[in-house]
Amino acid sequence: MLLCQRHPVLGGRIRRDKDSYILDLRSSRPPPFVAGGGSLATVLRAAFSSWDPEQALSRFVLVQDGRRGYVGFRPDHSVADASSTLVMLTDLWTIYVQIVQGGDPYLPPSRAMPASPDALLRGWSASQGERQPVIRDAHEDQGYVAMTERIWLSVEETARVVTGAKAKGMTVHALVCGAIFVAHARQQRHQWPFACISTVDLRTRTVPPVSPTDTTNLIGFHRIVIQAGANLSAPMMGKRIGADLAHCIADRSLYVPTSSLELPFLKSVQGVEWQRLNICVNNWGIVPNFVQPPGVDWLDFRGIWPDPIKTSFSGYLVYTFNGRLSIDCHYPGGLFGRDEVKEMASEVVDELEVATR
């Protein structure tokens, strides 16, 4: 497959070598391709069904539903995180457009194999500070079924957020984190400490910087613990979060995990469950524009999750596509009620609106 020639890791395998795992591309072969009839639910079941990384590291699904069709593409997280998956998805769409327009599909071959995240981080994390306390999130064993909400701002609202954040001397990420923090603090109605945890893509922090497909899972986590109090505002919290994030990046004191199940959670405080005290914000930034052939309009872009998805903490996925800011919100259902979830998501929107007036 052309996409696998462009990204050979999609046809690779993971094999165990004593106490470690090795990406093996020597026996590369096309990944499984599932085709048939059904609906979007059929695609999701096929895409999210279990697999063995020793046998395949990606899966393609094609489903026909009357006059509509669905294409599912799922790479294993060991070889493709969000940044690299978006590049692969863009390449897959480019191939599709080339075929539809009657041309010969072509993508330039990959320049090199992806590098190990550990190798790229050796120099960067050499002066890393003391590791923060960690609680492992055993998703399927201890997680609650997530309650989800989506915040989807208009182009005009998004522009006001961008302009407002810049005018207040902070990034959009910092302002959004501030709004999320305030929403949680007000909803809980207690002056607890909250940990705001942000993912940081370290590809641009290495020397030299690397592209999304030059490696995978090259991330660090920033954590700041703030005591909730009265008279909070999104700009106030955003400035504090943004300043601390910038300092930790410059000081190379981010938490760099050794496992995808590790996050620098704040532990239980004053008998309050740790799940209530931790907020994780994952910012994809601006999703790149896809090739847009004549007669095609992009209506939306969504992250797709298993159904049901489980989580042990409140998580937010933030990204902008076609000029519209989107925030996918996931809350542990065992700790929050449906009304609480709706109120928190609504509070985030209200805080952003107030902050950008």
pLDDT band with cut points at 50, 70 and 90 for residue 125: low
Query: Are 124 and 103 members of one domain?
Result: no
Query: Are 265 and 208 members of one domain?
Result: yes
Q: Which are the contacts of 105, defined by CB distance < 8 A and separation ≥ 6?
A: 2, 95, 98, 99
Q: What's the rounded Cα separation, in Å, for the pair 106 and 2?
A: 8
Number of domains composing the chain: 2
Domain that holds residue 90: 2-114
DSSP H helices in 232-316? 234-251, 274-277
Which of 114, 148, 181 corresponds to the end of one domain? 114
Nearest CA-CA partner of 126 in 219, 260, 256: 256
What pLDDT, on a 0 to 100 scale, did the predictor assign at position 140? 41
- 11 DSSP assignment: G
Query: Are 174 and 98 members of one domain?
Result: no
Query: Are 182 and 296 members of one domain?
Result: yes
Concatenate the DSSP letters of all residues of 148-211 into one string. Answer: EEEEE--HHHHHHHHHHHHHTTS-HHHHHHHHHHHHHHHHHTS--EEEEEEEEE-GGGSSS---
Instruction: Report pTM.
Output: 0.89
pLDDT band with cut points at 50, 70 and 90 for residue 200: very high
Reported as a single tens digit per residue, the pLDDT across 309-349 is: 888 889 999 999 999 999 999 999 988 899 999 999 999 99
Query: Are 274 and 195 members of one domain?
Result: yes
Query: Are 227 and 273 members of one domain?
Result: yes
- Decide if pLDDT at 180 tops 90: yes
Query: Are 179 and 103 members of one domain?
Result: no
What pLDDT, on a 0 to 100 scale, did the predictor assign at position 98? 92
The values of phi and psi at residue 170, to 5°, are: -145, 170
Query: Are 129 and 184 members of one domain?
Result: yes
What pLDDT, on a 0 to 100 scale, did the predictor assign at position 134? 52
Query: Are 200 and 347 members of one domain?
Result: yes
**CATH value at residue 192:** 3.30.559.30
Q: What's the rounded Cα separation, in Å, for the pair 223 and 61?
A: 38
**CATH value at residue 88:** 3.30.559.10
Query: Are 146 and 293 members of one domain?
Result: yes
Of 270 and 200, the one with more pLDDT: 200
What pLDDT, on a 0 to 100 scale, did the predictor assign at position 127? 41
Which of 114, 136, 154 corresponds to the end of one domain? 114
Query: Are 297 and 186 members of one domain?
Result: yes
- Decide if pLDDT at 195 tops 60: yes
The values of phi and psi at residue 324, to 5°, are: -120, 125
Query: Are 68 and 103 members of one domain?
Result: yes
User: 79-88, 90-99, 134-143: which has the minimum mean pLDDT?
Assistant: 134-143
Q: What is the pLDDT averaged over residues 249-270?
A: 78
Which of 114, 139, 169 corresponds to the end of one domain? 114
